[in-house]
Structure 1
Amino acid sequence: MASCYPRGRFGNLVPARSRPVQKKTLTSLFSDYLFRIPDYQRGYAWVKPHWLDFVQDVDGLVDEEVRGHYTGTVVVYRQDDADSTADVVDGQQRLTTSCLYLSLIARELVARGDRGYQRAVEAFLFAEGRCRLELNNDCKELFHDLLKHGRSNTTVLTPHGKRLVQALDFMTVHLHTQLQARGETAGDYLQALYNALTQKLHFTFYTIEEECEIGMTFELMNSRGKDLSVLELLKNYLMHWASRNGHKHGTAQALTATLNRSWKTIYGNLGTCTGNEDQCLRIAWTLYCSHSPKNWVGYKGFKESQYIPLRDFSLRNERETREFIVTFAEGLTEVSAEYARIVTPSAATTTPGELTWLTKIHHTGNIANFLPLLVSARKCRNDRSLAEDHYIELLRALEHYAYRVFLFDGRKSNTGTSRFNYLAYRMFHGKLDVAAVISEVYGMARYYSSDKGFKTWIGEPDNWYHYRYLLKYTLYEYELYLTEKEGKGHRAKIAWEDLKDSTLEHILPQTPAADSHWRDVWDAKNTELYLHDIGNLVLTHNNSNYRNFDFARKKGSAGSGYSYSNSDIRQERKLALFEDWTPLECEERRQTLVDWISTRWGSPYAVEAAPEAFAGDLDEDADE
């Protein structure tokens, strides 16, 4: 099969079938074509700095009365036998933003009595009921609603959908601020804005007619420093590889189709979660290429000779490279699916036990370290090489590690990364069973947070209030424990998302009144010892309701309004069992908590604290 890139006189590849570059305005663009964002492209990605630059550029066209402004490139792919619809290869962010702003300006003009603009914008943005620019990744209907009505008729769930709504909100605030500031000239300003958007924004436009040219176009965009994510950069490089090397064996078209299909699924998966593309790709690199964090250099690492070389096939020949590309592209779709379910877990995508423990790990604030291992474990569970109960036990071990190493011992967030990645890689490739992984996780926890140090610190009163996050997590887990133990299936009455400083109550107040009962039962020594200790701290809905009242008033009685006795928080209601709150009662409660903490986060069974097999990896992470 002949290449679609004949060589020029200097050996460079030049597009064989691309139309001449043209300069177009928004009006001429939409007069000639209907545009579609392909599903394999990422969704809407612009954020506030991009929106601000855009509206300021348009304002400059109005205020400075310039004749035109170059705003970027639009590259489309269109087959000869296609209708007037073209796939946008480059320029989708700016086109999308332009349409949103134009619809907003037109609605404002219509609201001010210029009804002619309604027909004009209908013809400009729509054709026979469909948008002249159709978005991808489940945003087509949302975009239609925003252009047509200025609002969404459905709940917006995906990150790129939310960014569309946020973009319109931002531009709405900007426009109304400008209109208010311009007073009597606001109407003229609106008309000038409309003309500037439709006539003065200039785009460099060209069409490519061979699908394999897309790869070359992407690589050119990369070399010019386009603001692309590593996931986009890799896709562009792989499509460039397909266009350059695939023609030799007649595989360019099939490989391009595989890449497009995979990236469509990947972007769809990532659109359902709060994660990010770079993190997802790094996990795939860890599982398919190298588990050492030091070897991650972004998408450029994939171009090395041992992975996906473009020209130097000394370490991996073309056939092996092509097979690896297919394996990796299809594997990345699986990684993205598991990643999405881990970073944004829900009852619909996880089992009950999994949701419970994933949520706990999220609450520790340190899930990133575990992501490759979690993705690997989910993959093994899906393959039925890992039983559900063993998977849950692994999650318990990771939560234990997060509590002991990050929350209790205060280690850096990358602590253990090298070893976790190694365990993930070995498990992913079937070279390590889960029992060995679980044992190592507990051993790593003991290496960084010794049992002796753990028991010593919790054994004596200390300033838990200083370590707020540790305190909140511990008390919240205690509330979940009490609810499960005593609540007969009920849920905790306080949500993790509601926790803040005002939901932490000092039973002995920090500033008791001079004539209060507190002064009679608490001397200065015991006050200093216990005031900020966990024995004197409890979760509440709002500590301002208690202020520095005496214990009898805080305790209250059932049905008596805001009081310990009447609280729906179980650990708070347990305080009502005490007749008074003196150092004796405080010590009794702290001992109950310490016993529970020791059981909950103590080492579950004997393991070596620092097996020689991984001590080097751990020291490496500790030094980073």
Structure 2
Amino acid sequence: MQELESLQNIFKNRIFKIPDYQRGYAWTTRQLKDFWEDVVNLPHDRFHYTGLLSLKKLNRQTWSSWNDEKWLIEDRGYKPFHIVDGQQRLTTFVIFIQVISELLKELPSNSENKEDDIYLGSFSLKAIKESYLVIEKPPQFIIKTYKFGYETDNPSFKFLKHRIFLERNSGSIQETFYTLNLENSKKFFKENLAEFYNEYGLSEIESLFKKLTQNLMFNVYEISDDFDVFVAFETMNNRGKKLSNLELLKNRLIYLTTLYEEDELKPDERTSLREKINDAWKEVYYQLGRNKKYPLNDDDFLVAHWIMYFQYSREKGDDYIRFLLEQKFTPQNIYAKTEVKVSSIQEFEEIKENEETDQEEVETNGNGEEKTVLRSKLTPKEIEDYVNSLKSAAVHWYNTNHPVNNPDLPEIERLWIDRLNRIGIIYFRPLVTVSYLSKMETVDRVGLFQAIERFIFVTFRLSRAFSTYRNSEFYRAARQLRNNELSIDTIIERLNERMNYCFYTPQESEETYFDYTYFQKFIEKKFKSGGGFYNWNGLRYFLYEYEMEKVRQRGSQKIDWKLFVKGEKDKISIEHIYPQTPDKKCWKESFREYKKQERHYFQGTLGNLLPLSQSINSSLQNDCFVNKKNPKYNDRKDKIRQGYSDGSHSEIEVSNYPDWNADTILERSIKLLEFMEKRWDLKFEDERSMAELLFLDFMYEEEIEETK
């Protein structure tokens, strides 16, 4: 069995680089806590098996272009390695060491000392940094050589040097969710080490350092040249924190570039293709992690791009990644050859571009004759086209997820994409993203967004279609639009046609009306369960749109969507004006002539529900209407709820009613449905139909009885 090695021994005379096919730093708080507890709880005289460290020793051809590391390799005999497996643990280790070094330097007793005069036990700070972090080249000390890092074109390396190791003069630094993980890891260790030092003192920090460097043991395995390093990477990394499919795909594509024979992919082309893969993934990871508070899921993006780029099939589960890794981008598709006819002129043009011939050879070979050559079933050009498409789609994917205040989008497009996100864009994000990959004017794109938003509201929020209704058709439309096989006008026409079942035309009539049957049955079930319209999943979007219409008319937005939909325990942002628990005398007086079930309908119908500009404790909604209209104060004269009169535009509108009774509820309910007609281009047959949908049609029956 191979002898286990400590980190002290592993870092001796070695330089580590994380290769381009590797993912970034993926550990989060859960893994960091486990690592911290392992080190803290490890007895001083015990060793801890930390896992396998797989390394690939690099040849001169690979490291000869490394400027900052070359002197250590050539002059001091350091050996350069790629980390195939174990980079998450080694990254965590060097961040831990960096934080210990910063803690030492920041101690008041060391404020005037140089690094070689600062000690942790028998180790000087300078020796610690040179053993595990960075060595400066004498005598000028201009070159800083990091013993652990990434390939230089990886944005994580610049972040690691300047934000983690505190090298100065960073300039602009690109951040991704991988760099966010680096930042969070450092923050985690700074906080825990500070507490540990305050409680136990410097001697225990020394103990932690010794356990970290001498008691954590690795099984170090060097992968030989003839071993398939890429397959090893896929196999080994799936033992730890599982690789995402996007990470696996990057590794696979880079691996495939190594398999082409030289007559099909020349060395300079191989390097260029590999760089394009890395550039594409840098852009993708940047866009996915661009909003650090709300990073986007990489597999969601990959699925959507697959829908845009390849033929969508209605299968379940992970068929998209099976297609990519097991059918499309496979070694077999490179080894499998197909016959391709190439003219001698084409062949010569390729030679000419490489400057390997002269004019005399042109005249000899350029006769236009065709010959048959063997080419891989999966060509390098297909890989290039695919990764370039991923790269260009990434920024638009970000924009569709984060349109608000996005300077890359025109204001009208921001408005409609925000609406789509608020209503729930369901399966339309690939289509929306593709609209930015196709050349079209803003007016056409907005027309598509309007049609999608109307389709979602009418079909799913009102007519209660299943969430997968027509998804295959519009997934295919995304690809067809990208390939210029389908126009925006045709897609809009299809969206409108697919809503035909939501409307009806009565006999001997030219008018088309909204068929509210499905919606009414849905709301009836909600009334039986106690909520009525309050439990409709389109309510918040609908009331917010009504409110925003008032904002466009009057200005001054008063409801924040994020706060409006945020759930808070014991608080409400939509109030039942006539409360669900109407135990006060004022409510009993106003609705005493109605039966219990009728009062239930008044409480849960649309016009009795009011969006609040500030959420309130649910107990406050039982107040009488006259008290709700004005601010409420407690005994200490502190305001405990805002009044309708100085609330949202919808609240102000309601505050203008002198009383809140059955008639006002019906009146406001009809008003809201009239807004629905105008906003989503639908029409109810008459007010009686509206009242039926609102479950208030009994009021019309009572009027007829009174007339008799």
Q: TM-score range by the shorter chain?
A: 0.7 to 0.9
How far has the Cα of 1:391 moved from its partner? 0.5
Corresponding residue SS for 1:70:
strand
Q: Which residue of 1 aligns with 2:628?
A: 554
Corresponding residue SS for 2:541:
helix
Conserved 8 A contact 1:77-1:209: no
Query: Structure 1 pair 399/89, CA: closer, same or farther in 2 (3 Å)?
Result: farther
Q: Which amino acid aligns with 1:232?
A: E
Q: What are structure 1's unaligned runs of at least 5 residues?
A: 1-20, 605-624
Conserved 8 A contact 1:42-1:267: no
Determine which of 415, 422, 428 is the counterpart of 1:363: 422
Determine which of 530, 543, 548 is the counterpart of 2:616: 543
Q: Which amino acid aligns with 1:297?
A: D
Conserved 8 A contact 1:305-1:313: no
**Residue 591 (structure 2) pairs with residue 533 (structure 1):** no
Q: Which amino acid aligns with 1:354?
A: E
Query: Structure 1 pair 494/297, CA: closer, same or farther in 2 (3 Å)?
Result: closer
**Residue 448 (structure 2) pairs with residue 398 (structure 1):** no
How far has the Cα of 1:190 moved from its partner? 3.2
**Residue 259 (structure 2) pairs with residue 244 (structure 1):** yes
How far has the Cα of 1:335 moved from its partner? 1.8
CA distance in 1, matches of 2:484, 2:312: 15
Q: Which residue of 1 aligns with 2:281?
A: 263
Q: Deviations over 1:366-416 (max 9, x none)?
A: 335112212211101xxx3x2211101111222223333444455554443
Determine which of 562, 579, 586 is the counterpart of 1:509: 579
Query: Structure 1 pair 157/421, CA: closer, same or farther in 2 (3 Å)?
Result: same
CA distance in 2, matches of 1:239, 1:155: 25
Q: Which residue of 1 aligns with 2:663?
A: 584
Determine which of 53, 75, 84 is the counterpart of 1:72: 53
CA distance in 2, matches of 1:484, 1:429: 38
Conserved 8 A contact 2:608-2:669: yes
Query: Structure 1 pair 288/455, CA: closer, same or farther in 2 (3 Å)?
Result: closer
Determine which of 378, 400, 408 is the counterpart of 1:349: 408
Corresponding residue SS for 1:249:
coil
Single out whichever of 91-100 and 428-437 deviates more from structure 2: 91-100
How far has the Cα of 1:341 moved from its partner? 1.9
Count of aligned residue pairs for this structure pair: 568
**Residue 234 (structure 2) pairs with residue 222 (structure 1):** yes
Identity value in percent:
22
Q: What are the within-5 Å matches in structure 2 for residues 123-162 of structure 1?
A: 123=130, 124-128=132-136, 132-134=147-149, 136-137=154-155, 140-141=158-159, 144-148=162-166, 158-162=176-180
CA distance in 2, matches of 1:415, 1:456: 16
Q: What are the within-5 Å matches in structure 2 for residues 380-419 of structure 1?
A: 380=438, 384=439, 386-409=440-463, 411-419=465-473
Name the structure with the higher strand share: 2
Question: RMSD of aligned C-alpha atoms?
Answer: 4.0
Q: Which residue of 1 aligns with 2:706?
A: none
Q: Deviations over 1:114-150 (max 9, x none)?
A: 952354544443344675444643673466434559x
Q: Which residue of 1 aligns with 2:562?
A: 496
CA distance in 2, matches of 1:36, 1:176: 30
Q: Which residue of 2 aligns with 1:377?
A: 435
Q: Which residue of 2 aligns with 1:286?
A: 307
Query: Structure 1 pair 157/416, CA: closer, same or farther in 2 (3 Å)?
Result: farther
CA distance in 2, matches of 1:470, 1:155: 42
Corresponding residue SS for 2:54:
strand
Q: Deviations over 1:415-453 (max 9, x none)?
A: 433112111111111110001111222333455899413
Q: Which residue of 1 aligns with 2:351?
A: none
Q: Which residue of 2 aligns with 1:479?
A: 547
Q: Which amino acid aligns with 1:389?
A: V
Give the TM-score normalised by the residue count of structure 1: 0.78
Q: Which amino acid aligns with 1:161?
A: T
Q: Which amino acid aligns with 2:473?
A: R
Corresponding residue SS for 2:46:
coil
Q: Which residue of 2 aligns with 1:3?
A: none
Corresponding residue SS for 2:646:
coil
Determine which of 372, 380, 389 is the counterpart of 1:322: 380
How far has the Cα of 1:36 moved from its partner? 5.0
Q: Which residue of 1 aligns with 2:360?
A: none
Based on CA coordinates, which of the two structures has the bigger radius of gyration?
A: 2
Q: Which residue of 2 aligns with 1:116?
A: 119
Q: Which amino acid aligns with 2:304?
A: I
Single out whichever of 461-470 and 346-355 deviates more from structure 2: 461-470
Query: Structure 1 pair 342/30, CA: closer, same or farther in 2 (3 Å)?
Result: farther
How far has the Cα of 1:529 moved from its partner? 1.3
Q: Which amino acid aligns with 2:27?
A: W
Conserved 8 A contact 1:551-1:581: yes
CA distance in 2, matches of 1:354, 1:367: 15
Q: Which residue of 2 aligns with 1:334?
A: 392
Query: Structure 1 pair 416/177, CA: closer, same or farther in 2 (3 Å)?
Result: farther
Single out whichever of 50-59 and 471-480 deviates more from structure 2: 50-59
Query: Structure 1 pair 513/284, CA: closer, same or farther in 2 (3 Å)?
Result: closer
Q: Which residue of 1 aligns with 2:363?
A: none
Conserved 8 A contact 1:400-1:445: no
Give the TM-score normalised by the residue count of structure 2: 0.70
Q: Which residue of 2 aligns with 1:453?
A: 516
Q: Deviations over 1:331-380 (max 9, x none)?
A: 1111222212222334222221111111111112x335112212211101
Q: Which residue of 1 aligns with 2:366?
A: none
Q: Which residue of 2 aligns with 1:235?
A: 250
Query: Structure 1 pair 41/350, CA: closer, same or farther in 2 (3 Å)?
Result: farther
Q: Which amino acid aligns with 1:505?
A: E
Q: What are structure 2's unaligned runs of at least 5 residues?
A: 71-79, 111-117, 137-143, 341-374, 505-513, 684-708
Q: Deviations over 1:539-559 (max 9, x none)?
A: 111233944221112223899
Query: Structure 1 pair 409/116, CA: closer, same or farther in 2 (3 Å)?
Result: farther
Q: Which amino acid aligns with 1:593?
A: L
How far has the Cα of 1:204 moved from its partner? 5.4
Q: Which residue of 2 aligns with 1:519?
A: 588
Q: Which residue of 2 aligns with 1:10?
A: none
Instruction: Return the structure number with greater relative CO, CA threshold 8 A, min gap 6.
Output: 1
CA distance in 2, matches of 1:408, 1:337: 33
